[in-house]
Structure 1
Amino acid sequence: MKILIASDLHWPTINGVASFSRNLAQGLAAKGHEVVVIAPSQTGRGYEEYDKNHVVKRTMALPFPFYQNFRISVTPQREVKKIIEDFDPDVIHIQSMLGIGRAALMTGKKHNIPVVATNHAMPENLIENMRLLAPFARPINYILKNYGARFHSNADYLTSPTQSAINLYKDDMKDVSIPVEAVSNGIDLSRFSPGEVSSELRKKYGLPSEKTPIITYLGRLDSEKHLPVMLHAARRVFDEVDGHVLIVGHGNEAEYLKELSKQLGIEKKVTFAGRVSDEDVTKLQKVGSVFCMPSPAELQCIACLEAMASGSPIVVVKAGAVHELCDEGKNGFVCETDNDADMAEKIVAILKDKKLQESMSKRSIEIAKTHDIQHTLARFEAIYQQLIDQYGA
């Protein structure tokens, strides 16, 4: 098949959508499909590049002021139209409802090309990073959800990473007549598995020896991730057990979080690794004694799945959809949102009980195996073929 993936968030941006769109493109190309990705330029001007086994067409883009290292294509219609007409794909898969996603949807409909849409969006994420708009959060969320429902109803098939993600929009999507299905983002299990971490890696990132338990987080350091809750929880944890925190990623709150760790008196027990290579992500996911996700705005959480595949128990919040990854008491715990005391209690329960930690590690690996990206790729291949057959009938 000739498959075009359109995404307003794509590698090298650190973001779940960006990770998924790249993993999807690489996975489909590895299976023999011809894949082209349309994504925002990282320099401003449009250009073309190769990412291992597929082509990425970059459209003109401007810096987006509310997210670090995020660029947005404001008016990409002409570029997107030309790319699609030149490539002539069998199917289009859009990952967003912003400029590129919208232009790809419109062009696909005009040229009678089937369009699959995956909804990764939670309007609350955007609003939390635009604090001047906070007083208007409720009406803005309503408008964005309403727009999302109308936008996605123009596609031929809609997916979202989890059933909880679909349920969040059930009321808004009640008038959408197209098929709607939960399809996991999936992860590459060949990259993530339990194992020892070298002393060189620990030294590189200033991590303690394997005798000291490590609480890990990997992702953007932006306000909707609620990382201050995790740091406050860590301070409580260190009152009861020895430990260390590893935070991997970058974002608008990086400096604030470093300052907060100083204010809490735990700066010597917190490592801010910043942005790291894909190779080091794989290695660092192995060091965690427990992976923590304080964000209430996850529609799945690829980083959490990677940690689970690497053998980490998890502590996640009830809100959003990330709790679907937790088999309560078996591979981790679900805690109350924005409750650092509850989060700390759950983390301590894991760190104090070696047998529990080991059994949770095994269960995390079992659950992660059900999210093998090969299953995801196979399901999308089937959806694509179904739509292609319908259009050709």
Structure 2
Amino acid sequence: MNTKTEIIAVGSELLLGQIVNSNAQFISRELAEMGFNTFYHTVTGDNAGRLTEAVKTAQSRSNIIIFTGGLGPTKDDLTKEAIAGHLNVNLVMDAEAMASIEEYFVKVKRTMTENNRKQALVLEGAHILKNDTGMAPGMALESDGIIYLLMPGPPSEMRPMFLNYARPYLLERLGVQEKIMSRVLRYFGIGESQLESELEDLIDSQTNPTIAPLAGDGEVTLRLTAKHREATSATQLLNEMEQKINARVGDYFYGYDSTSLLQEVTDALIERKTTIASAESLTGGLFSEQLTTVKGTSSVLMGGIVCYTNAVKENLLKVKQETLRNHGAVSEQCAREMAENIRHLAGSDIGISFTGVAGPEPMEGQPVGTVFIGISSKNETEVHKLNLAGSRDGIRKRSVKYGCRFLMKHLEKHTAI
């Protein structure tokens, strides 16, 4: 089947800009991995007439129409009612869904209102998609050669429903025999345009595996997707493409799939049984705060000092007065002493420091975006200078990520700290 997929998100809150349509992004990404073509995204408010018009338009150009939202208990949840009316299909009670809803209200010791029964109504003859994290089930119905797929709006309900039930349904219904496997490669320290330039010929000639670049939050990811009847062969295709890619840009590669720089740094510190402490001026404690969000950090993070003023740098962190007077707080010399001193004060294996100018105004003659990051261990102390662009908040966040990258390189260079 030549798939022409359209996603229709239902909800006035989307049109008002109150929430982001992350569902369409998620579904499009998953469909691309499955080898399905998504040509249109449509958003409509909670209005039966406009939703019906959107369905008519989609029917003229798509053979898979996926809906998110409008399956709840209130009067403005009208997706299945509108589609039932348009397709001349009855809505019937799904006994399993109704039992699950009743069980939920018993569990939370609340009285179920009558409108909650509405959530258990489904299109007659539809294939039911279980809702493991909510109440309203999803459903799939084929009519006149078009597959209609209805799922709830909350991402916490829609995403597991799609992965666990909708995706297998579509693959089986459309007779997809090939194994589809994907792998996300994560890069930091290289821009999207530079990465694509380095891989231009590979991207232009992609067939199997496919290569999908995606930039966001100061990082770049490549999603590789391979198809083959044998899973081992699909994996081999991914391995071969990854090797070609990282032969060119491997210096910026740091991990796979849903990992993060913070996760990789924490794992490396734990594996090496290496402790760390931080001295933060520019970042104001952001490095330590973010590190503590990662499981296992308590075994390696000794603590830190937020030394936003020169007085705290000098009196608490013991940065030399002449260093601050002769070179300033935004300097290689200050970053070096901050990293070395926090390591000694905390008794940690590594000290990391952040100092610089986040803006909005220059400081000590240094332009906005000037950043010094120091890393000190018993082996050496190194200081990295950056010239970053962007907002004040963006500079601070990217400084933390660069700190993680430099720390990873330091750990790799000195395997036994």
| Fold shared, TM-score > 0.5 on shorter chain | no
Higher strand share: 2
TM-score by length of 1: 0.29
Larger radius of gyration: 2
Highest RCO, 1 vs 2 (Cα 8 Å, sep ≥ 6): 1
Q: TM-score, normalised by structure 2?
A: 0.28
